Structure 1
Amino acid sequence: MRYLLLPLLVVVLDTICIISAAFFSIYIRFEDTAIAQKYLEMLISQLPIAVAVHLVVYFVFKLYGRVWRYAGSIELVAIVAANIVAALSWYGISIYIDLALPRSLYIFTASILVLFVGGSRLFFRIYSCFINKSKHKFISSKKDKVLIVGAGDAGALLLRELNQYHIGKRQVIGFIDDDKTKIGKYMVGTKVLGSRDDIAVLADNYEIDEIIIAMPSVKGKNIKEIINICKKTSCKLTILPGVYEIIEGSVSVSQLRPVDVEDLLGRDPVELDNVAVAKYLSGKTVLITGAGGSIGSEIVRQVAKMYPNKLLLVGKGENSIYEIMQDMNLEYPQLKKVPIIADVRDEERINAIMDYFKPQVVFHAAAHKHVPLMEYQPSEAVRNNILGTKVIAETAAKHKVETFVMISTDKAVNPTSVMGCTKRIAEMFVQSMNKESSTRFVAVRFGNVLGSRGSVIPLFKKQIAKGGPVTVTDAEMKRYF
Structure 2
Amino acid sequence: MIKSFLLKKTNFRRAVFFLIWDGICLSLALYLAFYLRFDGKIESQYLERFSAYLLVFLSLKYAVFAYFRLYQMSWSYVGFYELVNILKAEATSFLLLQGIVFMFWTQSVFQGFPRSILPIDFLISLVLIVIFRSSKRFYKQILSDRHQEGTKRTLVIGAGNAGEQIVRDMRRQNACPYMPVGFIDDDPAKKGVYIQGVKVHGKREDIEDMVKNLNVELVLIAIPSASSREIREILSVVRQAHVKEIRIIPGLNELVHGNVSLSDIKEIRIEDILGREQASIDRRMVNDFIKGKRVLITGAGGSIGSELVRQVLSFEPKQIIALDIDETELFNLELETGRGGLGAEFSSVVADIQDRNKLESVFNAYLPNLVFHAAAYKHVPMMEKYPEEAVKVNVLGTRTVAEVANDYGVEKFVMVSTDKAVKPTNVMGATKRVAEKIVNGLNASGRTKFISVRFGNVVGSRGSVIPIFEDQIRRGGPVTVTHEEMRRYFMSIPEASILILQAAAMGQGGEVFLLDMGDPVKIVDMAREMIRLNGLEPDVDIEIIYTGIRPGEKLYEELLTDSEGVEPTDHPKIFVGRDSSNNHGNVLEKVKLFEDFIQQKQWAWIRNLLMDLVPSYTLTSHAAHLPNLYEESTEKANEWSDLSRQK
Deviations 1:251-287 (A, max 9, x none): 9998642499xxxxxxxxxxxxxxxxxxxxxxxxxxx
- In structure 1, the partner of 2:137 is 125
- Write the letter of the residue equivalent to 1:225: E
Q: What is the CA-CA distance between 1:10 and the residue it aligns to? A: 1.0
The reply to whether residue 199 of structure 1 matches residue 221 of structure 2 is no
Alignment of 1:73-222 (within 5 A): 73-97=80-104, 98=107, 99-100=110-111, 101-127=113-139, 137=148, 140=150, 143-165=151-173, 167=175, 169-204=177-212, 206-219=214-227, 222=230
Alignment of 1:219-258 (within 5 A): 219=227, 222-235=230-243, 236-241=245-250, 245-248=254-257, 256-258=265-267
Q: 1:58 aligns with which of 59, 65, 79?
A: 65
Give the % identical residues: 26
- In structure 1, the partner of 2:391 is none
- Write the letter of the residue equivalent to 1:257: K
Alignment of 1:248-327 (within 5 A): 248=257, 256-258=265-267, 294=469, 315=482, 318-319=485-486, 323-324=523-524
Q: What is the CA-CA distance between 1:174 and the residue it aligns to? A: 1.4
Alignment of 1:325-474 (within 5 A): none
Q: What is the CA-CA distance between 1:217 and the residue it aligns to? A: 4.2
Q: Distance in 2 between matches of 1:6 and 1:90?
A: 27
User: What SS is found at the alignment partner of 1:95?
Assistant: helix
Q: What is the CA-CA distance between 1:317 and the residue it aligns to? A: 7.0
- Does the CA contact (< 8 Å) of 1:133 and 1:164 recur in 2? no
Q: TM-score, normalised by structure 2?
A: 0.39
- Write the letter of the residue equivalent to 1:114: L
> Which is richer in helix?
1
- In structure 2, the partner of 1:281 is none
Q: Which blocks of at least 5 consecutive residues in structure 2 are unaligned?
A: 1-8, 270-467, 488-520, 552-602, 604-620, 627-647
Q: What is the CA-CA distance between 1:339 and the residue it aligns to? A: 11
- Judged with a 3 Å threshold, the aligned counterparts in structure 2 of structure 1 residues 67 and 297 are, in CA distance, closer, same or farther, namely closer
Deviations 1:228-248 (A, max 9, x none): 433545433322236895325
Q: What is the CA-CA distance between 1:67 and the residue it aligns to? A: 1.7
- Does the CA contact (< 8 Å) of 1:150 and 1:175 recur in 2? yes
Q: TM-score, normalised by structure 1?
A: 0.51
Q: Distance in 2 between matches of 1:314 and 1:15?
A: 72
User: What SS is found at the alignment partner of 2:219?
Assistant: strand
- Write the letter of the residue equivalent to 1:88: L
- In structure 2, the partner of 1:13 is 21
- Does the CA contact (< 8 Å) of 2:76 and 2:136 recur in 1? yes
- In structure 2, the partner of 1:49 is 56
- Write the letter of the residue equivalent to 1:47: L
Deviations 1:140-160 (A, max 9, x none): 3xx333210012232122112
Q: What is the CA-CA distance between 1:121 and the residue it aligns to? A: 0.2
Q: What is the CA-CA distance between 1:19 and the residue it aligns to? A: 1.7
User: What SS is found at the alignment partner of 1:247?
Assistant: coil
Deviations 1:327-386 (A, max 9, x none): 8799899xxxx99996799xxxxxxxxxxxxxxxxxxxxxxxxxxxxxxx9xxxxx99xx
Q: Distance in 2 between matches of 1:259 and 1:326?
A: 14
- Write the letter of the residue equivalent to 1:79: I
- Does the CA contact (< 8 Å) of 2:144 and 2:179 recur in 1? no
- Does the CA contact (< 8 Å) of 2:166 and 2:260 recur in 1? no
- Does the CA contact (< 8 Å) of 1:318 and 1:341 recur in 2? no
Q: Distance in 1 between matches of 2:200 and 2:261?
A: 30
Q: Which blocks of at least 5 consecutive residues in structure 1 are unaligned?
A: 261-292, 305-312, 346-376, 378-382, 389-481
- Write the letter of the residue equivalent to 2:94: A
User: What SS is found at the alignment partner of 1:69?
Assistant: coil
Q: 1:39 aligns with which of 33, 42, 46?
A: 46
User: What SS is found at the alignment partner of 1:4?
Assistant: helix
- Write the letter of the residue equivalent to 1:103: R
Q: What is the CA-CA distance between 1:175 and the residue it aligns to? A: 1.1
User: What SS is found at the alignment partner of 1:246?
Assistant: coil
- Judged with a 3 Å threshold, the aligned counterparts in structure 2 of structure 1 residues 59 and 29 are, in CA distance, closer, same or farther, namely same
Q: Distance in 1 between matches of 2:152 and 2:51?
A: 58
Q: What is the CA-CA distance between 1:20 and the residue it aligns to? A: 1.5
- Does the CA contact (< 8 Å) of 1:150 and 1:176 recur in 2? yes
- Judged with a 3 Å threshold, the aligned counterparts in structure 2 of structure 1 residues 113 and 176 are, in CA distance, closer, same or farther, namely same
Q: Distance in 2 between matches of 1:184 and 1:171?
A: 19
- Does the CA contact (< 8 Å) of 2:469 and 2:527 recur in 1? no
- Does the CA contact (< 8 Å) of 1:145 and 1:172 recur in 2? yes
- Write the letter of the residue equivalent to 1:119: I
Q: Distance in 2 between matches of 1:324 and 1:90?
A: 76
- Judged with a 3 Å threshold, the aligned counterparts in structure 2 of structure 1 residues 209 and 132 are, in CA distance, closer, same or farther, namely closer
User: What SS is found at the alignment partner of 1:121?
Assistant: helix
User: What SS is found at the alignment partner of 1:31?
Assistant: coil
Q: Distance in 2 between matches of 1:94 and 1:61?
A: 23
Q: What is the CA-CA distance between 1:64 and the residue it aligns to? A: 0.8
- Does the CA contact (< 8 Å) of 1:27 and 1:36 recur in 2? no
Q: What is the CA-CA distance between 1:80 and the residue it aligns to? A: 1.8
- Write the letter of the residue equivalent to 1:181: A
Q: Distance in 2 between matches of 1:316 and 1:242?
A: 32
- Write the letter of the residue equivalent to 2:486: N
Q: Distance in 2 between matches of 1:67 and 1:342?
A: 62
- Does the CA contact (< 8 Å) of 1:154 and 1:214 recur in 2? yes
Residue correspondences, number: 305
> After the TM superposition, which of the residue ranges 192-201 and 161-170 deviates more from structure 2?
161-170
User: What SS is found at the alignment partner of 1:193?
Assistant: strand
Q: Distance in 2 between matches of 1:114 and 1:8?
A: 20
- Judged with a 3 Å threshold, the aligned counterparts in structure 2 of structure 1 residues 123 and 144 are, in CA distance, closer, same or farther, namely closer
- Consecutive aligned runs of 4 or more in structure 1 exceeding 6 Å deviation: 130-134, 249-255, 295-299, 301-304, 325-333, 338-345
- In structure 1, the partner of 2:75 is 68
- Write the letter of the residue equivalent to 1:38: Q
Q: What is the CA-CA distance between 1:112 and the residue it aligns to? A: 0.6
- Write the letter of the residue equivalent to 1:123: S
- Does the CA contact (< 8 Å) of 2:159 and 2:183 recur in 1? yes
Q: Distance in 2 between matches of 1:242 and 1:328?
A: 23
- Judged with a 3 Å threshold, the aligned counterparts in structure 2 of structure 1 residues 50 and 196 are, in CA distance, closer, same or farther, namely same
- Does the CA contact (< 8 Å) of 1:182 and 1:192 recur in 2? yes
